[in-house]
Amino acid sequence: MLMSTTTVEIEFRTAIRDALAEELERDSRVIFFGEDVAKAGGVFAVTKGLYERFPDRVFDTPISELAITGAAFGAAVCGKRPVIEIMFGDFLGLSLDSLVNQAAKYWYFTQGQTSAPLVVRSAVGAGGRFGAIHSQMPISWFFGVPGLKIVCPATPADAKGLLKAAIRDDNPVLFFEHKKLYSLKGPVHDEVIPLGQAAIVRPGRDLTMVTAMKGVHDCLAAAERLAERGIEAEIVDLRTLKPLDRVTILASLRKTNRLMVVEEGPRTGGWAGEVMAIFVEEGLDDLDDAWRLCTPDHPIPYSPALEDAFLPGADAIVRSVLDRPSFAHTA
């Protein structure tokens, strides 16, 4: 099918829907299922209209995350390319066995003879007043599991391009969508974005900010305010957390010589610590400064005021930078 090269502005949720529709049309092996994703169109209205277009390959399931993931694994090793939706990332704990002990290891178990090409879409993140068990960022639960890829888009263009790449990938992929980004509008094209490539979304000379998902927009807002004080921050949008683009991070660090990692997720065991370890392993011990800004190690508050204070938003990012000794003269 010929694809248009016209760039248009659409919502993040629409970009996800378009990617699914195009891959369902392109490859008859692609199937999509989950709780309320077909006739209802998804709890966040992401998948409206897909059932009507592909009634044989888009369908609803019972309320069982383990059954959904197990069915996806079985379909994947039998030649399909399933995409499933786990409504909230918090519920992925119920899918752990199928993902961690089966899908992630199947390529290894079969000595490279059979892959498990499945994609798990899931809404994650806080800020929407969903409470402690509907707002988590479960990346750290899976970050150390060999065989899994983790994708975290921040823009509609990346949402579409990365999802298309994830569906075509022969590995199990966790595709996380931040709830606060669903209504974000931006230009979208037909590019398939390779997994494992970060993007410099703002050039700078004084500080490298490494982040992902909503953190990209928080860092961009903070960077504009810091620029008024003469601090030019370079922002690295990781886009994919596994595999991690070490090359882009290191190139930026060698230019700015300062590192700040912004992660919406617990400080203990988070991916920010892995990024921090890169400069140590690469022998960049002469960095002027390096630190991380994460969420506290406690459940996410429901109170709007407490939830806002809990998150590493733009205000917290600005304060964190200005509190560092290397930028004390600008405070």
Q: What pLDDT score does 193 carry?
A: 98
Radius of gyration of the chain (CA): 20
Q: How many residues comprise the chain?
A: 331
Q: What pLDDT score does 305 carry?
A: 96
Torsion angle, alpha carbons of 60, 64, 69, 72, to 10: -30
Name the amino acid, one letter, at 83: V
Given the structure tokens 């703002």, which residue do they identify? Answer: 202
Question: Is the pTM higher than 0.85?
Answer: yes
Cβ burial, residue 276 (10 Å; 0-12/13-18/19+): middle
CB 121 within 8 A of CB 150: no
Do 161 and 274 lie in one domain? The reply is no
Is 217 among the catalytic positions?
Answer: no
- What sign for the dihedral angle of Cα 178, 260, 142, 129? negative
Do 139 and 219 lie in one domain? The reply is no
Task: Give the structural domain span for 103.
Answer: 8-188
The answer to whether residue 302 scores a pLDDT higher than 90 is yes
327 pLDDT tier (thresholds 50, 70, 90): confident
Instruction: Residue 273: give its domain's CATH number.
Output: 3.40.50.920
**Domain presence at residue 1:** no
Q: What pLDDT score does 209 carry?
A: 98
The tokens for 177 are: 């969508």
Query: pLDDT tens digit string along 72-91?
Result: 999 999 999 999 999 999 99
Name the amino acid, one letter, at 246: R
Do 150 and 70 lie in one domain? The reply is yes
Do 76 and 44 lie in one domain? The reply is yes
331 pLDDT tier (thresholds 50, 70, 90): low
Which member of 134, 189, 217, 298 is catalytic? 134
Do 289 and 144 lie in one domain? The reply is no
Beta bridge partners of 82: 31
* Cα–Cα separations (whole angstroms), residue 144 to 110, 215, 278: 21, 21, 15
The answer to whether residue 286 scores a pLDDT higher than 80 is no
Do 206 and 175 lie in one domain? The reply is no
